[in-house]
């Protein structure tokens, strides 16, 4: 009996150790990205004379039809070694958080977008540059505005990313953490008079965001202007029963010019149900207000497809799957050891 007690006591200690190690790894992963802010480089725009607001540190330029201009940015290396920095021009769009995205490029754009920032502005020379230790380099980009009249705003970002960093560890079988540092300098070209914003509700579909199921209204900004500080209130009603099946509110939404906002109305543990529905959405800021209403249908096939793939079906955190899996293996090992010593002791007594 003493052997059995010792085994279970040892089991308790190992379980406690597993739990402490597991949560220790989670804590380390959470803090590893905040260890150091030693980026090693910085960037600064050389503001030209056609800057609309001299207080802005990004390029906020007044442009005209057919205008050509060369923009310059200085990249500073504040380390004691040479570094490499990659640069690119991105076209701004609206991401699923309802914010204007300058960092991560997209391959799809709203059909109302006639001029991409990445087409009008091109990097001059190599896109990956080497900056000597404790020195700086000037990077240039050429702007060529279209030869046609239009009024509005073209928006994007000048992206800089350090590409010579190594991972923080080199231990086989572990997940190496790689810190990546980048800067974006905004590019905003204003031509003529800024038009009145126009929004449209394009469609309503079902799908997933990061493997979480939901209903997705597509709100389009078809105008060549930024639409800021929007508040959205949305209600979805079943056309069969007349009951409200989903409500959602969102504030501080920023829409990029000529972009579409795929608004994620996630349903969580509630599975999607096939049927006919009606959506009402009120969108407003301090200057404008829009009211949209649209009928849509969720087919049985679409509901089944999304429900089956959704991670919302699982009620147990992945961490606990790891802990319970390790615990199960440990119990099997300890039971095997106990059986071995039990049989060995019986043989000795016989």
Name which of 110-114, 194-198, 252-256, 324-328 the model is least confident about: 324-328
Evaluate whether 41-191 and 199-313 have a shared fold. yes
pLDDT at position 181 is 77
Mean pLDDT confidence for 221-246: 97
Helix then strand then coil, % of the chain, to nearest 5:
25, 40, 35
Query: Which residues partner with 75 through β-bridges?
Result: 43, 137
Query: Which residues partner with 85 through β-bridges?
Result: 129, 162
Mean pLDDT confidence for 270-277: 96
Distance CA 39, CA 162 (A): 8
Could you please state the CATH topology (level 3) that the domain comprising 41-191 is classified under. Answer: Immunoglobulin-like (2.60.40)
Distance CA 282, CA 231 (A): 8
> What is the token pair recorded at 47?
């503001």
Which of 223, 248, 228 lies closest to 288 in space, CA to CA?
228
Check if the beta carbon of residue 307 is closer than 8 Å to that of residue 272: yes
**In this structure, what is the dihedral angle of CA atoms 308, 313, 319, 320, given to the nearest 10 degrees?**
-120
pLDDT at position 331 is 83
Name which of 125-134, 208-217, 333-342 the model is least confident about: 333-342
3-state per-residue secondary structure call for 65-77: CCCEEEEEEEEEE
Distance CA 216, CA 8 (A): 52
Distance CA 249, CA 153 (A): 28
Tally of residues, the chain: 350
Which of 223, 151, 217, 226 lies closest to 188 in space, CA to CA?
226
pLDDT at 252 over 90: yes
pLDDT at position 333 is 75
**Predicted confidence band of residue 192 (pLDDT cuts 50, 70, 90):** very high
**Looking at domain 199-313, which CATH architecture does it have?**
Sandwich (2.60)
Domain map (residue ranges) of the chain: 41-191, 199-313, 318-350
Check if the beta carbon of residue 24 is closer than 8 Å to that of residue 319: no
Question: CA 264, 268, 271, 273 torsion: positive or negative?
Answer: negative
pLDDT at position 275 is 97
Query: Which residues partner with 84 through β-bridges?
Result: 130
**In this structure, what is the dihedral angle of CA atoms 312, 317, 319, 324, given to the nearest 10 degrees?**
-120
């Amino acid at each position: 009996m003493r052997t059995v007690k010792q085994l279970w006591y040892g089991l308790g200690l190992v379980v406690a150790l597993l739990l402490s190690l597991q949560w220790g790894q989670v804590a380390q992963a959470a803090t590893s990205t905040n260890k150091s802010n030693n980026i090693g480089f910085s960037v600064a725009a050389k503001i030209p004379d056609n800057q609309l607001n001299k207080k802005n540190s990004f390029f906020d330029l007044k442009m005209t039809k057919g205008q050509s201009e060369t923009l310059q940015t200085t990249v500073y290396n504040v380390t004691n070694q040479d570094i490499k920095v990659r640069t690119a021009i991105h076209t701004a769009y609206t991401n699923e958080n309802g914010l204007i995205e300058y960092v991560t490029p997209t391959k799809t754009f709203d059909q109302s977008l006639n001029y991409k920032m990445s087409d009008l502005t091109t990097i001059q020379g190599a896109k990956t540059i080497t900056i000597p230790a404790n020195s700086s380099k000037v990077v240039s980009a050429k702007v060529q505005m279209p030869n046609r009249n239009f009024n509005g705003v073209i928006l994007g970002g000048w992206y800089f990313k350090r590409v010579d960093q190594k991972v923080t560890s080199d231990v086989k079988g572990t997940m190496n953490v790689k810190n990546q540092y980048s800067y974006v300098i905004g590019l905003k070209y204003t031509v003529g008079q800024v038009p009145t914003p126009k929004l449209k509700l394009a469609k309503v579909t079902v799908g997933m965001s990061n493997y979480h199921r939901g209903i997705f209204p597509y709100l389009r900004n078809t105008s060549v202007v930024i639409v800021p500080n929007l508040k959205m209130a949305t209600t979805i009603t079943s056309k069969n029963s007349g009951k409200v099946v989903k409500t959602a509110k969102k504030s501080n939404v920023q829409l990029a010019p000529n972009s579409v906002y795929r608004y994620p109305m996630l349903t969580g543990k509630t599975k999607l149900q096939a049927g006919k529905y009606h959506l009402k959405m009120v969108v407003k800021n301090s200057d404008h207000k829009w009211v949209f209403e649209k009928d849509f249908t969720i087919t049985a096939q679409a509901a089944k497809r999304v429900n089956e793939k959704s991670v919302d079906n699982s009620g147990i955190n992945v961490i606990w799957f790891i802990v319970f899996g390790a615990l199960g293996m440990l119990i099997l090992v300890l039971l095997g050891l106990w059986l071995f010593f039990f049989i060995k002791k019986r043989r000795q007594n016989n």
